[in-house]
Structure 1
Amino acid sequence: MKKLRFSAFLAALMLTTLTACSTTDSGRRTVGQYVDDAAITAGVKAAIVNEPTLKVSEIQVETYEGVVQLSGFVSSAANIATASTVARSVNGVKSVKNDIRLK
């Protein structure tokens, strides 16, 4: 009985390991990369919230393979530059594409 439980546990562990290596996005990103991008997006959004001159509701953030894309509308050119600087400061960001526009 113990061998059967151990075998079932080992099979479940192997299946979990294989699932973690699977890909999403038609084979482009692994689940791990997707999770990393989600963490970077959350970090950038948190950094924007902590920047008093920016409004997180005005700026959308998307991340793909460490490249952050900012979009939305803000009230000043200084806010556009600040958003880029804030995004670049987040750990894991490889580069920033800033598509933020003035209102």
Structure 2
Amino acid sequence: MKNFKRISTIVATVALTALVGCAATSTTEGTGGYIDDSVITSKTKAAIFNDPSLKSTEINVETFKGKVQLSGFVNSQADINRAVDVARGVAGVTSVKNDMRLK
């Protein structure tokens, strides 16, 4: 009976640790949040790629908790403004941080 209690305690401890380890914190995401951000990143990249006035290879997109960060080097301020507008129009984007620079 003692062994059963010990084994039960160990199994419960391991299970609890695994569950807490996958939880999101203020600086990291849980699995679901990571997948959501991957979808937002993909949609944003696709939207930028499909815009004929933008060169998508020059614009990098990263997402964390719905906040999109755009970086890279572009030819004009108009390209920066257009990329930010396109990113804001993507479903799930809560804000856009512009770190793009002019060539």
Aligned counterparts, 1:82-101, within 5 A:
82-101=82-101
Greater gyration radius = 2
Which runs of no fewer than 5 residues in structure 2 stay unpaired?
A: 1-14
1:101, distance to aligned residue in structure 2 (A): 0.5
Distance 1:27 1:69 in 2: 16
Distance 1:61 1:30 in 2: 20
* Structure 1 residues 40 and 51: CA distance shift in structure 2, 3 A: same
Verify: 1:29 aligned to 2:24, yes or no: no
Q: One-letter code of the match for 1:41?
A: T
Q: One-letter code of the match for 1:29?
A: E
SS at match of 2:96: strand
Distance 1:69 1:26 in 2: 17
Q: One-letter code of the match for 2:34?
A: Y
SS at match of 2:92: coil
For residues 66-103 of structure 1, give each alpha carbon's deviation from its aligned partner in whole angstroms, at most 9, with x where no partner exists.
00000000001100000000000000000000111100
Distance 1:38 1:24 in 2: 16
What TM-score, normalized to structure 2? 0.75
Which runs of no fewer than 5 residues in structure 1 stay unpaired?
A: 1-14
What TM-score, normalized to structure 1? 0.75
Distance 1:59 1:25 in 2: 29
Aligned to 1:12: none
Query: RMSD between aligned alpha carbons?
Result: 2.3
State how many pairs are aligned: 86
Verify: 1:78 aligned to 2:78, yes or no: yes
Identical amino acids, percent of aligned pairs: 53
Distance 2:73 2:26 in 1: 31
1:56, distance to aligned residue in structure 2 (A): 1.0
Aligned to 1:4: none
Distance 2:102 2:24 in 1: 35
Aligned counterparts, 1:43-82, within 5 A:
43-82=43-82
